[in-house]
Amino acid sequence: MLGAAIHAALAVPLGIDECEALNRRRNVDAHRAHQVTKSVLCETLPAPCVSEFLFSHEFYWSAERAARDGGSKCSRWTRDEDWPTLEPHLVRPAGLGGIWENVLSMMPNRTLWMHGDSIMTQVCEAAICSLQRSHVVPQPPLCTGRDLAAETVPCPEINQLASRIGMQIRGIRLPNGARLLCTAVGVLEHEKVSAVLRGAGVDVALINYGLHYHTNANFGQMLHTLFSTMEAWAAAGAGRVSLFRELSAQHFKGGSYSPGAEKPAPGTPCQCEPLQKRAARDSSERTLGNQNVEFNQLAKRAAAKHGVGMVPFYNLTAARHDMHRRHFCSYSNQVKVGRCCDCTHFCYTPLFWDMFFSQLGRSIRTHSRWDGSRLVEQQQEEVAAEGSRHGRKWRRGRGKWHGHGRRRAAHGQPEARR
């Protein structure tokens, strides 16, 4: 098993030179099928780090390639302990599922759009992996692009929109007619956001920016533009829900982020440190003078004015100073230690993201504009009626993919959806 091999290899800590030599021998950057972060090979305490590079390329495998290789890792590694990264901070509660069980199963014929910076890329890739772990999507799982699974109804209108606005949009279609759309860019591009909200049939929009903004004034101006757009979009259609995901915690040396901390002197080993807690009366994990905390407070006040829901994320990430990629910054193609310091992006564990998907589902269900209970009841009635006519059964939860999306494509989406 990969996890056991990695843990055994980490029995003796490696120096920087030894680490880089081992990376070159493994040719980690060239072989995407084995591409794990350099943290896996070099960082030893308290847990090795595996990023989504371990599996995200498999989203584009053909069904033939998946069959030849025994399926994607996400479809095969369904247990927490199957994954190489240890989870040092969380224990799985009974009954906790992934994004299908917590979110998309309650959104029949609705579209969830996730958009933001590189952390949202991690959210989206974890979501696609979660859908494969729940066995509710075929291989490949995407309904956009050219290489589709035989069971997958394509999303040509999403491809056309992506081409028109110059933005890659990954789309996934679920058995109940729900769709997940994923995009990412570091800062707000207002026209593109407006185009997706208007043209992609979005019903729930989850957006986040912040890690690329460095002053309260610039961040506040962005929030005003974004939230005004989301408020107008939500008001123009029944049941539309606008959400903003909190900024994550960052753990640069000193325990919080300050401009410039991401670029240490060349050759300097990266140091990601715990957050310094406030006084004992504050039970939440926060730090004085932490820009991400300040931005979350600004966002919370602005969101309340525009009817935008806040999705918790900061406290979930606050204790994870030991779950970063350390000196390997995958988003800058770093090849030498010290070019940048990654105390931002998180190691992957299924449990960590399942906890977030549970919070996302709760934020959707408690939003004042959400009408999902009626949608689920209507979906169940339709499925029961169709099952009585054709002898088919709707399989809930972690059932296998059986191509239920075909009926939706044949009959079209309900007009009341828009």
Distance CA 201, CA 237 (A): 10
At 2-58, the pLDDT tens digits run 444 444 443 344 555 665 565 555 544 444 444 445 555 455 444 567 778 778 889
Residue 417: inside a domain: no
Residue 391: inside a domain: no
Segments forming the whole domain that contains residue 368:
2-376
At 293-334, the pLDDT tens digits run 899 999 999 999 999 999 999 999 999 988 887 655 555 555
Q: What residue ranges in 295-397 does DSSP mark as E strands? A: 309-311, 324-326, 342-346
Residue 398: inside a domain: no
Residues of the chain with pLDDT under 50: 1-13, 27-36, 41, 44-46, 278-286, 390-418
CATH of the domain at 94: 3.40.50.1110
Question: Are the C-beta atoms of residues 402 and 393 closer than 8 Å to each other?
Answer: no
Residue 169: inside a domain: yes
The C-alpha angle 373, 378, 384, rounded to 5 degrees, equals 125
In this prediction the pTM is 0.81
How many domains are contained in the chain? 1
Residue 91: inside a domain: yes
- Between helix 216-235 and helix 190-199 the angle, nearest 10°, is 20
> What's the chain's average pLDDT?
79
